[in-house]
Every structure is written in C-alpha cells, then in structure tokens.
Structure 1
Amino acid sequence: MRQYIVDAFTEEVFTGNPAAVCFPDRWPEDALMRRIAMENNLSETAFVVQEADGLHIRWFTPGGEIDLCGHATLASAYVYFQFVDPAAEQVTFQSLSGPLTVTREGSLLAMDFPAYALAPTEVTEDMAAVLGVRPREAWLGRDLLCILDRAEDVTALRPDLGKALDLPGLLLLVTAPGEGEFDCVSRSFAPKLRVDEDPVCGSGHCHIVPYWAERLRKDQLTACQASPRGGTLYCRRMGDRVRLAGYAALFSRGEILTEP
C-alpha cells in the first residue's frame, strides 16, 4: 500500500500539519485502518480509494475515524496532483461530509468545505479551569470554540487536556483577533481523539472562519494557527461553505507492507 507523508498548510517540511496519505487499491478493514493510524501516530491518516462513482476519502486519528479533516484532504489532493494525475486542475473526494472539491490555484490548493453552524453556549468555570484563562465567549458546533481577547493569550496557552475531556464538543478550538497580516489566530486540541494538539486544523477553521467573518464584517481572512509547528490558511466565507487554501510540502513516500 502506497503511503505519503505531507506537511499541509506550509511551504516547508517540519512545519504545518503532517498527514499520512494512503492509496490502497481497495478498502482495508476498518480495524486495519485504525491500526495504521495508531502506528503512524499523526493527527490524521487519510485513505483514498477509487470507486465506481469517483474517489472516496476517509480519515482516521489515533483515536478513530472522524467526519471531516482539512489538512489530510489538502495532503491527499497534493499527492493526487503530484503522483496520480499531474494534468488535473481539480479533484473531488466523496466523504462522510459530502463531496469535497480541491482546486489548484498556482501553488496553492483551495478546498471547498462545509461550514459548521455555531450556537452560543455558556462560558463555564470548567472551560476557565482547562484553559487557565476565562473565555469571553463560547460557541458550539461539532467542536467547542472559545474566544479570547488577545493573540498572545492563545500562544501562551498550556491547557489541562485531562480536564478537557469533560468539555462539550469533539475538539477544543481557541481563537483571538490576529495581528499584522493575520485576521485571527487559533490553536486546536483533540484529546478525545488521542491528539493533544492538532498543529493546523482545517475542519476547526470551518468553525473559526464563519465566526470571524461575521465579527470582522469581511469574507476573506488570513488565519494563523499558532501551534509550535505553525501554519497559514487563506480563507473565504461562501454562505454555508468555506474556502480553505494553503500550501503543502512532501516529507516522505514509501510502502506499507501490510496489505488490505
């Protein structure tokens, strides 16, 4: 089984968010995909299989399958354009979140993703205890989105991820207004999926972009993920969809010797 490791939302390896991308000839058993994801020990391993109606993609964290993943989709598109169909300008993956189209825009890869609907939720003492700072707002979609006042508060976070297991939402997203070229800054934590910090979270920005587009009254945003690895997303709100664009860099390619 071919496997590639791609750093997403960056132009250089060792930064951005690494994803493993596998292109098996047919679907492995779910248990094997989970074990491969655990063996890779990255935040996501994507599996892409050609079926009669097109390409299908599934994403696995070390803690199991997830319904949507941005950086591993970007990585999968990068591999597709580089090694499967170099002449293609666009690719569509069928997924648990519907069809996801990725388009080449020069060196950028732009993804068309669904936006999550956000509902306000009470800021609790548990949230403050996890973050070490009290959010000024909290919103709930698939993930919990906590709003802080300053970019430096996001950068300085050392959350208690054990306590975060008891918070609502699948991931814990923390964001604040950006500085300089960036409209917003964020970090993403996923202890429920056995991922302490997701270095650059595409699906998290399906929450973050709608929030900041509304607050800043602008549809085009440049977003900074302020994890230790760091990454940049070029975003646009499009009604109930979001465009997430970024660069990608190939780290490795190889072969998994355990076949489906």
Structure 2
Amino acid sequence: MKLELYQIDAFTDKIFGGNPACVVPLKDWLPDEILLKIAKENAVAETAFFVNKGDTIHLRWFTPDIEMDLCGHATLATAHCLKSILNYPKDQIIFETLSGDLTVLVKHDVYHLDFPSRMPTVSELPEAIKNSLNIQPKEVYKSRDYVLVYDTEQDIKNIKINRQLFDTINLDPGGVIVTAKGENCDFVSRFFTPQASILEDPVTGSAHCSLIPFWSSRLKKNELHAIQMSDRVGTLRCQNKKDRVIISGQAKTYSIGNLWTE
C-alpha cells in the first residue's frame, strides 16, 4: 500500500527548528501494529495519522515506541498539513482524539491549539529520577508528567540525565519536565522521556498543558511566552483559560513524499 508522508517542523518559523513530526493521511485505519512500525521507521518523536471524516478529523499519535494520549506538536503539524498542503476549507479544525475533541484555529499562518489544562499537584520524586539528575529541583509536582521546578534558566540549560538510571523507571505515556522562570520569556522548559527511543523531545506541546496553568498561577498572568530549550528550540505563545489552555505556534513543511507498507 502506498501512502502520502509529510514531515513538518512544528513550533517554529524556520526549517530545522522546533519539533519534527511526520503526518500520514489515511482513508481507513490500518492495524495498530502497522502504525507503530511506520512510526518506528520515521524515527521522529511523533507520527500523526488521521482519517478525514468531513466535519471532524480522527487523529492518533504514535512515538517509535507507543501510542500517545496527547501530542501538541504533531497536532499542529497535522493542522498545517491540512491547511497549507491539502487545502482543508475550514479555519477551525476539530480533531477527535484519545483526549477528547481538540480544536485548532488557524489565523494568519499561526495555529492556536485548544487543549485540556492539567494543573500539576505537589508530589514526591521517585528515587530513579532523582538519582539520574545532576541538579536537584527545588520543587516537584505531577500531572501526567512530573514537573520539576528550578531556580534559574541556567539550571535548565545545564541539566544532564544519567540515562542508565533514568531508564529504570517507566512513565508511559508521561515524562519529566524541567522548568524555570525565563530570562527573556515567561518560562523555559525541557522534556525527557525514560525508556523512549528519543530521550529529549525538542518541543512538547502536551507538557504545556501543565506548564501553562502552573506558571500562570505563579506569575499572576494569563498570557505567556514560553521557550523549550532543546537544541532545536521551540517558541510557544500560551493562554490560560481555566480548564483549557491555548498553545499557539507556527510550522514549516520540510518534506513531502510517499511510503509503502508492503
């Protein structure tokens, strides 16, 4: 079977920035085993598969290892693929997902993702994670992901992970966010996933479902500018809206091609 394949850099206005995602349109769903094999072969953080149902788009996300419950950058990439390449007629796209219906509004080449808010609560850090960090956090919280709060942006830049220790814990489908107040933005972060093919995710939209309400409460503001400090760097504009968050960013198409499943 021959399928279309689009690779798109999300949360960036430059090629080779942000987080690369592959997007694969389907007419009907293939077996999960095949979807996972395609995601492994693509070897990016997430591959998005979708079926256009007319009024809504059924969307699923796969890492090279598992199916995810929520993914921001691959949702943005899918919206970009639909609007800029496949000529989707509407500026509001409704995705049916494992996290419920997600709406993306497209305005002037900026994609505004309406996602669930996941306010983290005070937690304790498992010893495996604690021992894997070269710098210890000042505060520990958890929602889907652990949220580790540090004093400075420089701490976030300097964090190193002992992967041998880190990979002894399984957080599927979650990960570990490290974050601090930003020097030239409201907050910065990085994101790590134990036992994953890709240890550090370049830009993690779903992590901001927790980061936005957390920093909104701490900084006493509802509109926030965030930077994810991976090597590729991601820029996100954020809004806190009670039980929802708006995560906004741009995207660039990197490649268009085909894949064969047999």
TM-score of the superposed pair, with normalisation by structure 1: 0.94
Contact 2:169 2:194 in 1 (8 A): no
Is 1:186 the equivalent of 2:189? yes
Is 1:174 the equivalent of 2:170? no
Whole-Å separation in 2 of the counterparts to 1:4 and 1:105 = 21
Is 1:203 the equivalent of 2:203? no
- Counterpart of 1:143 (choices 142, 145, 150) is 145
CA deviation string 1:87-110 (max 9, x = no partner)? 421111100000111111212110
Whole-Å separation in 2 of the counterparts to 1:58 and 1:25 = 14
In the other structure, the counterpart of 1:252 is: 255
- Counterpart of 1:230 (choices 220, 230, 233) is 233
Contact 2:47 2:74 in 1 (8 A): yes
In the other structure, the counterpart of 1:93 is: 95
Structure 1 counterpart SS, 2:210:
helix
In the other structure, the counterpart of 2:41 is: 39
Structure 2 counterpart SS, 1:94:
strand
Paired-residue identity, % = 40
Whole-Å separation in 2 of the counterparts to 1:242 and 1:234 = 11
In the other structure, the counterpart of 2:122 is: 120
Please state how far the C-alpha of 1:213 moved relative to its aligned partner: 0.6
CA deviation string 1:67-89 (max 9, x = no partner)? 00000000000000012235421
Q: Which consecutive residues of structure 1, in runs of 5 or more, have no partner in the other structure?
A: none
C-alpha RMSD over aligned residues: 1.6
Q: Which consecutive residues of structure 2, in runs of 5 or more, have no partner in the other structure?
A: none
Contact 2:104 2:114 in 1 (8 A): yes
**Deviation above 4 Å: which 4+ runs of structure 1?**
123-126, 166-169
In the other structure, the counterpart of 2:32 is: 30
Structure 2 counterpart SS, 1:208:
helix
How many equivalent residue pairs?
258
CA deviation string 1:225-253 (max 9, x = no partner)? 00001010000011111000001000001
Contact 1:144 1:168 in 2 (8 A): no
Q: Name the aligned partner's letter for residue 156 of structure 2.
A: V
Whole-Å separation in 1 of the counterparts to 2:194 and 2:232 = 18
- Counterpart of 2:159 (choices 157, 160, 166) is 157
CA deviation string 1:94-153 (max 9, x = no partner)? 000001111112121100000113221124654442221111111111111111111011
Structure 1 counterpart SS, 2:195:
helix
TM-score of the superposed pair, with normalisation by structure 2: 0.94
